């Protein structure tokens, strides 16, 4: 099934996704400047680091629309995490959900 990614713009949802990623990064010990996460909602939220890269140039091919859409076969939410600022609190997140889930 082809899922069209829809950007999430609600600041509360974006902040919640960021907080979950920050906890996951601390717990897993895996941290990169650019990361792509998949969220699966159920009894508990499952968070998987799908991809990562050291630079924006390396990261760009990993976050194309077709790639994001393909991840909705396994995840309910896909989140791009850009932690290239001085602190993780300043990190930026971009999130998508599938049009069929919206």
**Per residue in 11-60, pLDDT tens?**
999 999 999 999 999 999 888 999 999 999 999 999 999 999 999 999 99
Mean pLDDT (whole number) for 91-101: 85
Q: What residues make up the domain containing 37?
A: 5-98
Provide the 10 A C-beta neighbour count for residue 25.
20
Helices (H), the chain: 11-28, 56-59, 65-71
Q: How many domains does the chain have?
A: 1
| Pairs from 56-64 (Cβ < 8 Å, separation ≥ 24) | 56/82, 56/84, 58/34, 59/34, 62/36, 63/36
The confidence band for 101, taking pLDDT boundaries of 50, 70 and 90, is very low
Q: Per-residue confidence at 100, pLDDT binned at 50, 70, 90? A: low
What percent of the chain clears pLDDT 70, i.e. is strictly above it? Answer: 92
Intra-chain end-to-end CA distance of the chain, in Å: 15
pLDDT of residue 102 exceeding 60: no
pLDDT at residue 87 in the model: 76
pTM, two decimals, is: 0.89
Q: What are phi and psi of 82, to 5 degrees?
A: -115, 100
């Amino acid at each position: 099934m082809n899922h069209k990614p829809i950007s999430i713009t609600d600041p509360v949802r974006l902040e919640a996704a960021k907080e979950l990623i920050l906890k996951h990064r601390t717990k897993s010990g895996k941290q990169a400047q650019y990361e792509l996460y998949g969220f699966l909602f159920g009894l508990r939220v499952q968070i998987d680091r799908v991809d990562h890269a050291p630079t924006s140039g390396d990261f760009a091919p990993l976050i194309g629309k077709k790639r994001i859409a393909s991840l909705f076969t396994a995840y309910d939410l896909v989140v791009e995490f850009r932690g290239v600022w001085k602190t993780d609190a300043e990190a930026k997140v971009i999130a998508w959900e599938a049009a069929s889930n919206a």
